[in-house]
């Protein structure tokens, strides 16, 4: 949901910062001439640069989240063209902003509800087949799990501080977070994680490995972070390294985000 115009400015400022931080000191390719004032590096065609700028603006605006029809997208482009040509805004800003917030909020909620229903239907089929898989167990709450190695150390409790490696995936195999890829185990309290993770980690001991199949209601439901679509069931590969002594101030498990 778009809260205010400054959000767009902040997003574009962040993109500019990233572009500056990621610039490379490479020489122009043979036959290419550096554009005065441009950062050094392989020079792109101006059309490609402008197209990339349009892509960034589109991604940062979140327009994809509203699933505009072809006709609605043409109206959206009409507004962009007015801005590009320097024309006045179509409506009084003070009047239109509350209505814009309400309308886009409703559209986003409708899209989320539809996607959530679709993902839950896919998850239902997935869990139906999973029930027949040998070695898979389940809890009364609906968590499914497969123990690869039980381990022989301490078993964590609901509020234990743990150190572990994990990889989180969507049902289509998309990895949205992985401590393995960061090459750094995570440390956090089980009081601060999704219910399915908290229940699942307690099925093994230190040194154990487990695969968790977590339905949406034991994960993020329909209100997950951007990397996790509404109504998504999740699959976690978890390796419990250590049950730690809880510090005075327990750490919160970071939000799952796509791993670069």
Give catalytic residue positions.
Answer: 166, 176-177, 194, 220, 236
36: CB partners within 8 A, 6+ apart: none
Q: Are 214 and 141 in contact (CB under 8 A)?
A: no
CB atoms within 10 A of CB 257: 12
Alpha helices in 25-153 (DSSP H): 46-61, 70-85, 93-130
Print burial letters for 132-166: b (CB count within 10 Å at least 16), e (below 16).
Answer: eeeeeeeeeebbbbbbeeebeeebbeeebbbbbbb
Nearest to 201 by CA among 237, 255, 152: 237
248: CB partners within 8 A, 6+ apart: none
| Residue given tokens 């767009």 in the structure block | 8
Tokens found for residue 16: 């500019």
Nearest to 188 by CA among 253, 122, 106, 91: 253
At 213, phi and psi to the nearest 5? -115, 105
Give the three-class secondary structure for 251.
coil
Q: Are 210 and 148 in contact (CB under 8 A)?
A: yes
Q: Are 187 and 251 in contact (CB under 8 A)?
A: yes
């Amino acid at each position: 949901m778009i809260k205010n115009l400054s959000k767009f400015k902040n997003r574009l400022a962040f993109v500019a910062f990233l572009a500056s931080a990621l610039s490379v000191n490479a020489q122009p390719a043979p036959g290419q001439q550096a554009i005065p004032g441009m950062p050094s590096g392989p020079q792109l065609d101006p059309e490609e640069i402008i197209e990339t700028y349009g892509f960034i603006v589109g991604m940062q605006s979140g327009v994809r989240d509203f699933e505009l029809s072809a006709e609605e997208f043409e109206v959206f482009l009409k507004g962009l063209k007015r801005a590009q040509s320097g024309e006045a805004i179509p409506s009084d800003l003070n009047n239109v902003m509350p209505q814009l917030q309400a309308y886009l909020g409703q559209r986003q909620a409708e899209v989320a509800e539809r996607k959530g229903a679709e993902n839950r239907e896919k998850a239902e089929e997935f869990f139906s087949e999973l029930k027949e898989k040998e070695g898979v167990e389940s809890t009364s709450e609906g968590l499914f799990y497969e123990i690869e190695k039980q381990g022989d150390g301490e078993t964590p409790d609901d509020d234990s501080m743990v150190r572990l490696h994990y990889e989180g995936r969507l049902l289509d195999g998309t990895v949205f977070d992985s401590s393995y890829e960061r090459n750094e185990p995570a440390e956090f309290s089980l009081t601060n994680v999704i219910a399915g993770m908290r229940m699942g980690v307690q099925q093994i001991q230190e040194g154990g490995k487990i695969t968790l199949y977590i339905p949406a209601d034991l994960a993020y439901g329909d209100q997950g972070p951007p990397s996790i679509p509404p109504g998504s069931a999740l699959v976690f590969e978890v390796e419990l390294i250590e049950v730690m002594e809880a510090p005075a101030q327990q750490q919160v498990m970071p939000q799952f985000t796509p791993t670069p």
